[in-house]
């Protein structure tokens, strides 16, 4: 099945700094989803990207889907302590099951 590489695995930032996590695939993706999981919590859907070159924003979060639909990124501007958690990208399979990336654990230092 399809696989996706997600980097970095860990990221520590000072509050107010920016943060970016990347997902890369060797194959063209039909779509990509992003989830956030707070420590001790469950994944919560953030967004789905479908179109080549698509850029979507949610307040301080910016999501991009590459032109070739093989990579995606999530960028957080001016991080806050509430941004702490693990961010996963996920690919949708033929049965609409999700294959998750390994996740990026974000720590925000006050």
Partner 1 sequence: EADIYQTPRYLVIGTGKKITLECSQTMGHDKMYWYQQDPGMELHLIHYSYGVNSTEKGDLSSESTVSRIRTEHFPLTLESARPSHTSQYLCASRGHSTGEQYFGPGTRLTVT
Q: What's CA 59's distance to the chain center, in Å?
A: 15
Closer Cβ to partner 1, 59 or 96, answer by number = 96
Of 45, 51, 57, 80, the one binding partner 1 (CB under 8 A) is 45
Of 20, 62, 77, 99, the one binding partner 1 (CB under 8 A) is 99
Distance linking the first and last C-alpha atoms of the chain: 40
Instruction: Kindly state the number of chain residues that form the binding site for partner 1, as judged by CB under 8 A.
Output: 22
Q: CB 41 → partner 1: shortest distance, Å?
A: 8
Q: How far apart are CA 11 and CA 33, in angstroms?
A: 20
Q: CB 110 → partner 1: shortest distance, Å?
A: 21
For the sheet containing 71-76, what is the strand order?
A: 5-7, 19-24, 71-76, 61-65, 55-58
Length of the chain: 110
Give the footprint of partner 1 on this chain (CB under 8 A): 1, 31, 33, 41-45, 48, 86, 88, 92, 95-103, 105
């Amino acid at each position: 099945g399809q696989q996706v590489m997600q980097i970095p695995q860990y990221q520590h930032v000072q509050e107010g700094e920016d943060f970016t996590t990347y997902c890369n695939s060797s194959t063209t993706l039909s779509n990509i989803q992003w989830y956030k999981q707070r420590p001790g919590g469950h994944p919560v859907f953030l967004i789905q990207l479908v179109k080549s070159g698509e850029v979507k924003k949610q307040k301080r979060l910016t999501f991009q889907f590459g032109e070739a639909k093989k990579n995606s990124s999530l960028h957080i501007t001016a991080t806050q302590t509430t941004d702490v958690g693990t961010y996963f990208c996920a690919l949708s399979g033929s049965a609409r099951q999700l294959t998750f990336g390994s996740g990026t654990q974000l720590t925000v230092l006050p």
